[in-house]
Structure 1
Amino acid sequence: MRTATINRNTAETRIAVTIDLDGTGHYDVKTGVGFFDHMLEQLSRHSLIDLHVRTEGDLHIDQHHTVEDTGIAIGEAVAKALGDKRGIRRYGDALSPMDETLTRVALDISGRPWLVWGVEFSQKRLGEMDTELFKHWFHSFAQAAGITLHIDLLHGENNHHIAESAFKGLARALRTAVEIDERKADAIPSTKGIL
């Protein structure tokens, strides 16, 4: 069973995350930030990773800690569920179209976290969510999961579509990368023998 539960409690947030990498895309997400919930639901649905998230954050200040710490907790859960990464495909990529928007996502479950972010928004907020927090979420997730992650907006005007395309692209790339490769199910996918 490639599952994990992470409880992250700080002076700023209290978070419980449970994931199942071999799920069906079932989600139950409550962070207190509606648009963020919508994006995490897209991540689960299109990756087929079951995702249960409960976040209580200091939203009376702003959304920063809620979004950042949720990214860390989900990333830690992915890393924990992957274990030694034996048998995974490791790499994944996706072109994610949504109407006028097209986003390219490529990732490597390398153990060397990095984010290359080529996405811009023309609005400061979507719903009640600050758009500058999207980059911060992807960075926090990639760092905690140990993933090299490249996200580039190729076309796009509608800010909702841009955000959703990035999350759906991550979902589809992640789905491929965490899948077990039947041809090498017993091997670590690296010439080093460790990831």
Structure 2
Amino acid sequence: MRNATITRKTLETTITATVALDGAGAAEIATGIGFLDHMLQQLARHALIDIALNANGDLHIDGHHTTEDSAIVLGQAVAVALGDRRGIRRYGEALAPMDEALVRVALDASNRPWCVFKVRFGQARLGDLDTELIGHWFHTFAQHAGLTLHVEALAGDNAHHVAEACFKGLARALRAAIEADPRRANEVPSTKGTLGGGANGRDAP
């Protein structure tokens, strides 16, 4: 089973995340930030990854540390559950429409972290989440999950719709990338026989 549990404790947050990559999309999310909870529920449901995540953070300051550390812990749990990434499809892409919004997501589960996030929001907050933290969440998640990740909003006026399309697009692309490839059997999907490598993970195509 491709499962993992990660706990991170700092002076700013205490967070535990458990993932089951071959799940049914079940989600038990409690970050203290309602809109972030909603987005992570979308991620679980549409990626068919079971996610349990509980966070206690310094929300009396703002949502930055809790948002960032939730992405760190969830990304690390995904990376550990993937192991050496043997037998996966590796690449995934999705076009995610949400009413007038349309977001394109492409990713490579390469263990070479990179993120390009070309999304703008027309308002400063969605519920109790600063919208500037959404891009930060994607960058941090990609870094710790070992993903090359591109997210681009092609259309959209409603900030809620755009944000939700981002997370649903990530979910669908991630689902495709980490699924077992029956033609690849137990092989690592790289000509080098390994994914990632080096201090910054940038040298294994």
Give the TM interval when normalised to the shorter protein.
over 0.9
Supply the RMSD in Å over aligned alpha carbons. 0.4
Match of 1:63 in 2: 63
Matches within 5 A, 1:5-84: 5-84=5-84
Partner of 2:109: 109
Equivalent position of 1:150 in the other structure: 150
Q: Give the Å deviation of 1:128.
A: 1.1
Letter in 2 for 1:113: P
Partner residue in 1 for 2:200: none
Structure 1 unaligned residues grouped into runs of 5+: none
User: How far did residue 116 of structure 1 move?
Assistant: 0.4
For residues 188 and 179 of structure 2, the distance between their equivalents in structure 1, rounded to whole angstroms, comes to: 13
Amino acid of the structure 1 residue aligned with 2:177: A
Secondary structure, counterpart of 1:176 in structure 2: helix
Separation in structure 1 between the aligned mates of residue 167 and residue 156 of structure 2, nearest angstrom: 14
CA distance in 2, matches of 1:158, 1:147: 27
Deviation of 1:111 after TM superposition, in Å, equals 1.2
Secondary structure of 1:192's partner? coil
Q: Give the TM-score of the pair, scaled to structure 2.
A: 0.95
Which structure 2 segments of 5+ residues have no match? 196-205
Identity %: 63
Query: In structure 1, what residue type is equivalent to 2:51?
Result: L
What are the superposed Cα offsets for residues 93-150 of structure 1, whole Å, 9 maximum, x if unpaired?
0000010000000000111101101100010000111000000000110000110000
Supply the distance in 1 between the matched residues of 2:46 and 2:185 (Cα, whole angstroms): 23
- Listed as ranges, the matches of 1:87-126 within 5 Å are 87-126=87-126
Q: TM-score, normalised by structure 1?
A: 0.99
Cα offset, 1:185, TM superposition: 1.9
Match of residue 131 from structure 1:
131
Structure 2 equivalent of residue 170 of structure 1: 170
Residue 181, structure 1, aligned to residue 185, structure 2: no
Q: How far off is 1:158 after superposition?
A: 0.3
Shift of 1:152: 0.3
Question: For 2:115, what is the secondary structure of its paired residue?
Answer: strand
Report runs of 4+ in structure 1 exceeding 6 Å deviation: none
Q: CA deviation at 1:68?
A: 0.2
Q: 1:172: how far off?
A: 0.2
Alpha-carbon distance in 1 for matches of 2:72, 2:182: 30
What is the aligned partner in structure 2 of residue 193 from structure 1? 193
